[in-house]
Amino acid sequence: MLRELAKRSQVRLAATFAVLLALATTTLFTLLIVNLNDELEDRVRARVLRTKDALLAVDRKHGFDELVSVVADEADSLRDADNIYMLLGDDGKVYAGNVLRALPFDGWRVIPRSELPSVQGIGSPRDRFFAVWTPVSKGKLLVGGSDREVRQARLILLHSVGWGLLITAAIAIGAGVWLAHRAQRRIDDIGNTLAAVSYGQLDKRIETRPHGDDLDDVTGSINAMLDRLQRLIQSVNQASTDIAHELKKPMMRLREKLEAASERANSVEAFKEAVDDALVQSDAIVATFEGLLNISQLQAGTRKARFADVNLLEVAADVGELFQPVAEDEGNTLRIDVPKDIKASIRGDRGLLVQLCANLIENSLRHARGAVGIVLSLRKDGNDLVLEVSDNGAGIPVGERANVFRRFYRIEGASAAEGHGLGLSLVAAIADLHGASIELADNAPGLRVIIRFPTAASAPLHKK
């Protein structure tokens, strides 16, 4: 159990945080102890200096004999031996004090209690005395103060540090275990969901929570990926079914043409005619496969490597120049409504964008009932560039607009029209590759195909 917990990143993070916090706490308390120790030692020295000055004042005012009496009284009144005194005469005799033997020295010195036999039985053996000698009228005076308060304060701080570190470690370990358990449940949920999807439950999704943390962001990304994966798999399955259904008839017609050429052609001309018909059917099958291959390549995103800056104004002008004569020859009109004063540059594939516009115009021409007017327009809408192809033809019923981007889909009654049912599927794939959305709207009469290209930020999936 502990080994498994140690593998959790949350536990390791909590442990690292606990160590850093412990180091910071230890450093802080160490600095505090050092500063407090210095301050308390300075206070002991200051107290010793005050006592020394008071005794010197007695010597100057009342003489050496009075000083002997005062030092003797001070030494006899001590109960906890926090101070030491020794009055040494010029003749080498100790006249008063609780220290019976000590050699004079210059400046301050720290004297352990173990070096003062006369005061060893009082106080703690660990006591030390900050002591200083000073001259008096007929000798020298030793005055010292104990560091007992310094040691007690230091001990209290050390105990506080110890308890603080223990409490910090306990809180950090508890928090790490709690975080690891909490995060592991969500990680298990992610793992179980991915395992379920891998076994075919494509509609399985990770439960989202309104916390807004990093795991929620990961969960949202995974769910979005699974949504797209489900759509792609459904698209592949649907495409497989559509391909089998769509190619069955042309393959059967091809076989019939070949059988006719093999069995019933009684002349070179008849045989050639049958073979020519078979070639037409074969070309139609090849064109269908090429269209499917193009759509698959676009959906795989491999063409993004060719992206460059493309001016949609130039694309619209090229498409208009190409199709206006074709439309006029068939009794239709094509008008290009493109302003000249907008910035219409996007990242994309110029050839694919031309094909997108061409497919939409060809679709309007192919399904026109009588003369039709087509308008190719471009406008700026906020941060988006909106490309629109509209006509006044038969249009698409509202109930069919969600289906027309499917491969091989044809509206009922339009199955006899030319084409392979891949034109709008290719348009959707090109738009999706460029991060554009597609909307079909009524032109009253006719149809408006609105393609919205974002010029900043990442592109969404196309919306039909």
Residue 464 confidence (pLDDT): 36
Q: Higher-confidence residue: 403 or 167?
A: 167
User: Residue 335 has which token pair?
Assistant: 């008008």
Q: What residue ranges define each of the domains in the chain, with the CATH number in brackets?
A: 2-151 (3.30.450), 303-454 (3.30.565.10)
Q: Is the pLDDT score of 178 beyond 80?
A: no
Long-range contacts of 217-226 (CB under 8 A, 24+ apart): 218/190, 219/186, 219/190, 222/190, 222/193, 222/194, 226/193, 226/197, 226/202
- Per the DSSP assignment, residues forming a β-bridge with 26 are none
Tens digits of residue pLDDT in 234-277: 766 666 666 666 666 677 777 777 777 777 667 777 777 777 77
Which letter does DSSP use for residue 340 in this model? S
Residue 255 confidence (pLDDT): 74
Q: Higher-confidence residue: 318 or 2?
A: 318
Name the residue among 388, 392, 382, 374 with its Cα closest to residue 438.
388
Residue 47 confidence (pLDDT): 92
- Per the DSSP assignment, residues forming a β-bridge with 97 are 86
Tell me the CA distances in angstroms from 203 to 17, 82, 228, 319, one per residue in order: 40, 83, 11, 42
Whether 277 and 264 have beta carbons less than 8 Å apart is answered as: no
Q: Is the pLDDT score of 295 beyond 80?
A: no
User: Residue 375 has which token pair?
Assistant: 């308008």
Q: Higher-confidence residue: 227 or 419?
A: 227
Tell me the CA distances in angstroms from 427 to 130, 161, 186, 337, 390, one per residue in order: 94, 71, 40, 20, 15
Residue 238 confidence (pLDDT): 65
Q: Is the pLDDT score of 388 beyond 80?
A: yes
pTM of the complete model: 0.47
Beta-carbon count within 10 A of 81 CB: 21
Q: Is the pLDDT score of 177 beyond 90?
A: no
What is the residue-averaged pLDDT of the chain? 79
User: Residue 132 has which token pair?
Assistant: 């200083």
Residue 462 confidence (pLDDT): 39
Q: Is the pLDDT score of 164 beyond 60?
A: yes
| Number of residues assigned to the chain | 464
Tens digits of residue pLDDT in 313-346: 889 888 888 888 888 888 888 888 888 778 888 8
Q: Higher-confidence residue: 402 or 51?
A: 51
Whether 139 and 89 have beta carbons less than 8 Å apart is answered as: yes
- At 62, the pLDDT band (50, 70, 90 cuts) reads very high
Q: Is the pLDDT score of 161 beyond 80?
A: no
Beta-carbon count within 10 A of 57 CB: 11
